[in-house]
Amino acid sequence: MGGAILVLSGPSGAGKSTIIENASSKIGDYYFSISTTTREPREGERDGVDYHFVSKEEFEEDIKAGAFLEYATVHGNYYGTSINPVKKALKSGKLVIFDIDIQGHRLVRAKIGDLVTSVFITPPTLSELKRRLYSRSTDKNSIIERRVNNAKEEIKAICEFDFIIINDEIERASNEFITISNASRLKLSKKELKKLIVNWENN
């Protein structure tokens, strides 16, 4: 059970954080990759816990320095994944979990695809997503509508993911996530597969 990368994507309001929290005791040692963003913190969010909050200028300096595994602009703000903590976690054998959008998934796939297992998490319907977004009362209506419109585009990319979790019942969705997380650790990189073939042929 070595290091592996598990990419989670899906609309805001799909329940990704709740699923991870429910499954955390059953997926082994893991590192949740905290994204860096230029957006303002929401009420209750903490720097270094929910996100690394930085200025646009700081983010663009890190882009120039090559500090991101992937980054993208979402709703007018930068979001990115720093490289060094991911490398450190993989080296220590941890499951690295990313919660990133479909653009980020594509970029990570392109760079280190043979280490990646990906999951798209979504509510069962668009109307259920709207209900969840409005009921949590953390964003203005204009932001919620933007998230809904973004979700309509995101759902079109589900064929790019290895697995889909329909989060209509949290216990079942969490169990599916546990199964996928543990299986992702068994995935071998191309380098490991080549080594396996050589060993198999020579012994």
CATH classification of the domain holding 127: 3.40.50.300
Q: What is the pLDDT of residue 2?
A: 61
- With a cut of 70, which residues of the chain have pLDDT below it? 1-2
Count of domains for the chain: 1
How far lies 22's CA from each of 19, 138, 159, 172, in Å?
5, 22, 26, 11
* Residue 26 half-sphere exposure toward CB, CA atoms < 13 A: 13
pTM for the full predicted model: 0.83
Q: What is the pLDDT of residue 143?
A: 86
Closest by Cα among 147, 180, 178 to 39: 147
Amino acid at 58: E
Could you read off the pLDDT of 171-185 as tens digits, one per residue?
999 999 999 999 999
Is residue 35 a contact partner of residue 70, using CB atoms and an 8 Å limit? Answer: no
Helices (H), 65-164: 83-91, 102-112, 126-136, 141-154
Q: What is the pLDDT of residue 107?
A: 87
Amino acid at 171: E
Domain hosting 62: range is 4-201
